[in-house]
Amino acid sequence: MKQDDLYDVVIIGGGPAGLAAGLYLARARYRTLILEQADFGGQVTITAEVVNYPGVARTDGRQLTETMRQQAQDFGAEFMSAEATGVDVDGDIKTVHTTRGELRTFGVLIATGASPRKLGFAGEEEYAGRGVAYCATCDGEFFTGREVLVVGGGFAAAEESVFLTKYASKVTLLVREDDFTCDGAVAAEAKSNPNIEIRYNTELLGVSAGQGGLVEARIKDNKAGREYTWEPADKGTFGVFVFAGYVPQTGLVRGVVELDKRGYVVTHGDLETSVPGVYAAGDLRVKNLRQVITATADGAVAAVELERYASDMSKKTGLVPPRPTDTPYEQKEEAAAKSAASAGTSPAPAAPRDQGGQTRTSGFFNDAIRKQLNVVFSKMAQPLTLELTLDSTKLSTELEGFVGELVSLSDGKLSSQVVDRSDIEYDPSAGLPLARPYVELCRRGDDDRLDRTGMGFHGVPSGHEFNSFVLALYNAAGPGQTLDRATEERIGSIAEPTDVMLLVSLTCTMCPTTVLSSQRIAAGNPNVRAQAYDVSRFPELKDRYNVMSVPCIVINRGGDQTVEFGKKSVPEMLDLIGA
């Protein structure tokens, strides 16, 4: 095989464990690829406040893991957004199968983490996204002024209960045991909060809904041995947030490495699994404590062992993957050294940075984002026009400024124009209502005619939706994100006009995946239109579809309408569309 196609290590999973391992490996000059099917950063990205990570006084999960990702990238780690579909571990060179092709590597690190556990109470599946939620950061705002039930007795339940008091009029916390199972300091904050009522030895049996949402719950007091009906004091609707632990995401390696009876990966002294050259790190392995700090520690330990393994395999096979050179980190160090040498002083202080660690500039985009945009613009195969439909609101002014700056940075790859569509009224009942302000991605044909793609955003695509918007530009202009042949054929098979309305929140970390998946499909088939709506800006849509969780997906096809909730990959969106 060609050693240019070979990696020292492929890391499956882009959470704290995978990012820490990638940082260590790349810094040691080993060719490393971090593979992630969803959002780099893992479960901690939905945590609103992190105060117990050493050396960082206060941050949120998104900022913390974005810093980790940037560090790994600066040292030369490579990243790929794709789903791992299988692992062949026999022999000196292992193969990781993905939706974007096969990856050859000496070593593999499994760091796929864990996902929220569902409890199975009556109505949990039926009302998921319609009153039952698993992410306080994503969905807390939908219950502003209402009561909520929180189910769980661990770290997440205690911390997120306190967070939910920012929105809810009252939080009732149902703890199955006679006390919390987490650290006392974490539990103390929930116990002392006047807006939180804690019921111990209690479990949720089921929920039922009425007009507008959940209206009552069946609860069991295990200590007293009685069941009773609970409803909010105002007799209105309420929400349920479930924080009952996690399920290890180990289906990929079931039958490949040893798992315990609960499905967690069994690791040995230095985090090696039952298969030589395959390591595991983070929340998917058997361990006593699952926190960001233990995940990053796992990643560092596994990385050091994988360095040795990859080195041994290079000596054994005579193959040496192309290692990182001239990395951003090295370039910065060299520039600082030259500056110091020419000035005869120590390096100049760094430019001012914002709370996220990014260099501050004027306008909408900082220097780091501008560099990333330059990479995307340089790869676009054809120019695009961003068509703006505006009104007289401040939000329209903001969108116009946002698009204007984006166009100015694109080196001619983007242009914009404002169109007058005053003849079209805002109708929330329409399949894709024209909610202003709106930006739509358009291509120009050979005759210079503007061709609307049906891909766009209603509101301003900032926050977590910025990345999905930029990738939509890349997918619309081509060549676009790579898909396997089977998926491309499924997209091409959609012959019936299909509208996908995506109701999102800019604070939701799960929404961008669903928006990106839908618009990737629309980019590949003109019969599909996919548009995102900032639901906080258009309350009529939130009320019409009773949105209590995002993303909310409304599909109109052939006169039939389907409403679904949750993060969806491209194959999952195709399943919903019926392709």
Kindly tell me the sign of the dihedral angle through the C-alpha atoms of 128, 131, 135, 137: positive
Looking only at the bridges linking them, the beta strands covering 450-458 and 528-534 are parallel
Catalytic position from the list 138, 442, 508, 552: 138
**Quick one: three-class SS letters along 323-372?**
CCCCCHHHHHHHHHHHHHHHHCCCCCCCCCECCCCCECCCCCCCHHHHHH
Look at residue 464 in the predicted model and tell me its pLDDT. Answer: 82
Look at residue 362 in the predicted model and tell me its pLDDT. Answer: 43
Look at residue 562 in the predicted model and tell me its pLDDT. Answer: 92
pLDDT above 90 coverage of the chain, percent: 66
Catalytic position from the list 135, 442, 508, 511: 135
Residue 212 has pLDDT above 50, yes or no: yes
The string of DSSP codes covering 5-45 is GEEEEEEE--SHHHHHHHHHHHHTT--EEEEESS-TT-GGG
Structure tokens at 251: 């289906």
- Least confident interval from 75-79, 132-136, 159-163, 297-301: 132-136
Long-range contacts of 118-124 (CB under 8 A, 24+ apart): 118/242, 118/244, 119/151, 119/204, 119/242, 119/244, 121/204, 121/205, 121/206, 121/207, 122/205, 122/206, 122/207, 122/218, 123/206, 123/207, 123/208, 123/209, 123/214, 124/207, 124/242
Instruction: Give 344's pLDDT tier (boundaries 50, 70, 90).
Output: low
CB contact burial 536-545 (16+ within 10 A = b; e otherwise): bbbeebbeeb
Residue with structure tokens 């993905």?
98
Active site residue 138: yes
Of 319 and 351, the structure prediction assigns the larger pLDDT to: 319
For residue 485, give the 3-state DSSP assignment: helix
Closest CA to 39 of 79, 98, 92, 8: 79
Residue 123 has pLDDT above 90, yes or no: yes
| Phi then psi dihedrals of residue 17, to 5 deg | -65, -50
Q: What is the spatial order of strands in the sheet that 528-534 belongs to?
A: 414-418, 384-389, 438-444, 450-458, 528-534, 498-504, 552-557, 560-565
Task: Write out pLDDT tens, residues 237-284.
Answer: 999 999 988 889 999 999 999 999 989 999 998 999 999 999 999 999
Residue 484 has pLDDT above 60, yes or no: yes
| Helix spans in 100-231 (H) | 136-139, 155-164, 184-192
The half-sphere exposure of 194 on its side-chain side, counting CA atoms within 13 A, is 0
Catalogue all structural domains in the chain, each as residue range(s) with its CATH number: 3-114+253-317 (3.50.50.60), 132-244 (3.50.50.60), 367-577 (3.40.30.80)
Look at residue 45 in the predicted model and tell me its pLDDT. Answer: 65
Instruction: Give 352's pLDDT tier (boundaries 50, 70, 90).
Output: very low
Task: Write out pLDDT tens, residues 428-471.
Answer: 999 999 999 999 999 987 777 889 999 999 999 998 899 899 99
Q: What count of other Cβ atoms lies within 10 Å of the Cβ of residue 53?
A: 17
Residue with structure tokens 């103390």?
188
Does this model's pTM top 0.75? Answer: no
- Cβ atoms of residues 71 and 79 within 8 Å: no
Whether the ω angle into residue 383 lies within 30 degrees of 0, i.e. cis, is no
Instruction: Give 378's pLDDT tier (boundaries 50, 70, 90).
Output: very high
For residue 562, give the 3-state DSSP assignment: strand
Task: Write out pLDDT tens, residues 89-120.
Answer: 999 999 999 988 899 999 999 999 988 888 99
Whether the ω angle into residue 551 lies within 30 degrees of 0, i.e. cis, is yes
Q: State how far the Cα of 242 lies from the Cα of 121, in Å rounded to an integer.
A: 11
Task: Write out pLDDT tens, residues 384-399.
Answer: 999 999 999 999 999 9
pLDDT above 70 coverage of the chain, percent: 93
Active site residue 420: no
Task: Write out pLDDT tens, residues 488-537.
Answer: 999 999 999 999 999 999 888 788 989 999 999 999 999 999 999 999 99
Look at residue 364 in the predicted model and tell me its pLDDT. Answer: 81
Catalytic position from the list 8, 139, 499, 534: 139
Structure tokens at 127: 């009302």
- Mean pLDDT throughout 389-416? 95
Active site residue 182: no
Residue with structure tokens 């995978």?
18
Look at residue 342 in the predicted model and tell me its pLDDT. Answer: 64
Of 125 and 501, the structure prediction assigns the larger pLDDT to: 501
Look at residue 278 in the predicted model and tell me its pLDDT. Answer: 97
* Chain centroid to CA 44: 10
- Cβ atoms of residues 226 and 237 within 8 Å: no
Look at residue 56 in the predicted model and tell me its pLDDT. Answer: 83
- Least confident interval from 37-41, 47-51, 165-169, 461-465: 47-51
Instruction: Give 349's pLDDT tier (boundaries 50, 70, 90).
Output: very low
